[in-house]
Amino acid sequence: MEKTDVTKNKVAVLAGGWSDEREISMDSGRACAKALGQAGFEGVELLDVADPDFIPNLINGGFDVAFVAMHGRYGEDGCVQGLLEVLHMPYTFSGVLTSAVATEKDFAKSRFRSAGIPTAKGRKLPAGHIPDEAEVDSLVNLLGLPLFVKPAANGSSYGITMVHKASELAEAVRTAGKGGQRVIVEAGVKGTEITVPVIGNDDPMALPIIEVVKGDDAEFYDLKVKYEPSELHHVMPARLDPDVYERAQRLAVLAHKTLGCRGASRSDFIVTADGNPVILETNTIPGMTETSLLPDSARAAGIEFPELCRRFVEWALEEQDN
C-alpha cells in the first residue's frame, strides 16, 4: 500500500484487557483513536480486548491493521501480538518475541548486558520462593542496601518495594510474588532517573529525554507518583551534561535495536553521579495518552500526536512488507 494512502486503512485500536494497567490502556486507546481520526483516518474503531465479543468483532470488522494500545499482561507481553500473527493482521509496535523478552525484566537485562548496556546487578527468584535467613544475608551481601524487589514481569511500579533493611526483604519478595510472579531482587542505583523515548523501525531515533523528579515524600518513582499530574514530576529536556545526554540517547536506541523493538520504545535509566546511564527496563508500548511521556517528548521534537499515531500505523504496515 502507498504511504500516502495510509489513512484509507481501517484501524482497530485494541485497548483494555485484564492487566493491572487496564484503565490506563483504555485512556491510551481512546486518545489514539481520537488522534487517528484527527490524522484523517476514516475507519477507526476502539475494541476492548476483555469484551467477550472481541475476537469475532476483530475478525469480522474488515480491519486492515491493529493499533495495540495496551500495557502489561496480555497486551504488551506478546499474547495479543501472537493472536494478531495468527490472524495475519499487521499491528503496531513490537512483535511476539520482543514483547515477551522485554516484559521479563531479567531476560531483557541479559540481552542488554550482551550489547554492552549497563544494568543493575540482580538475581531472579523462582515463583513462590521466599528466601530464608541465610539467603537474605547472601542477597544483601551481594547487592548491598538499599535494594529493589520487583515482579520479574513488567508493569507500572506494581508490587515494587525499596528495601532498606535485611529484615524487610522476605516481606518484599512476598509482595512482589503475589499472583505467582517470579521476582527480581536488584541493587539500588543512586542517581538521576530519566526515561528515553525512541521511535521507528530499523533506523530508530531517540526523542528528547525526560527527567523524572519523584518529589520529596516519595522514595522512588512509585505508582502514586506515576499517576500524579505530570508537570509535577517531569523535566524535559533532562538536566544532564551534553555528553551524558547523548550517551543515554545512544544507549536507548541500542536497547531498542537489541530487543528488536518496532515503532516505539521507552527505556528507563538511572544516571549515576559519574554520568553512567544504567538501564532498568524497556517499555515496548509506553503510555499513549496525549500527555503521556512519549507523546509529550515527540511533541517537543515537532511531532504532534495525530502525526505520531499516523506514523505508528505506517511503521506497522512497513513491517508487513518485509
Ligand X SMILES: Nc1ncnc2c1ncn2[C@@H]1O[C@H](COP(=O)(O)OP(=O)(O)O)[C@@H](O)[C@H]1O
Which residues of this protein are in contact with ligand X, per CB under 6 A?
Answer: 120, 148, 150, 154-157, 160, 186-189, 193, 220-221, 268, 270, 280-281
Chain residue at closest Cβ approach to Mg ion: 268
- Rounded to an integer, what distance in angstroms lies between the CA atom of residue 34 and that of residue 53? 22
H or E element: which one contains 110?
helix 105-114
Tell me the number of residues near Mg ion by CB under 5 A: 1
Residues 233-272: x/- map of binding to Mg ion (CB under 5 A)? -----------------------------------x----
Of residues 106, 298, 100, the one with CA closest to residue 196: 298
The question of whether 110 is a catalytic residue gets the answer: no
The question of whether 186 is a catalytic residue gets the answer: no
Q: How far is the CB of 156 from Mg ion (least distance, A)?
A: 7
Query: What is the side-by-side strand order in the sheet with 44-48?
Result: 44-48, 11-15, 65-68
List beta partners, residue 264: 199
Q: How far is the CB of 47 from ligand X (least distance, A)?
A: 25
From ligand X, Mg ion, none, interface partner of 186 (C-beta below 5 to 8 A by class): ligand X
The question of whether 221 is a catalytic residue gets the answer: no
From ligand X, Mg ion, none, interface partner of 160 (C-beta below 5 to 8 A by class): ligand X
Of residues 317, 285, 320, 104, the one with CA closest to residue 199: 285
Quick check: 155 and 191 in contact, CB under 8 A?
no
- Rounded to an integer, what distance in angstroms lies between the CA atom of residue 308 and that of residue 280? 25
- Rounded to an integer, what distance in angstroms lies between the CA atom of residue 289 and that of residue 296? 9
Q: How far is the CB of 268 from ligand X (least distance, A)?
A: 4
- Binding residues (CB under 5 A) for Mg ion: these are 268
Active centre residues (catalytic): 21, 156, 227, 266, 268, 281, 283, 287
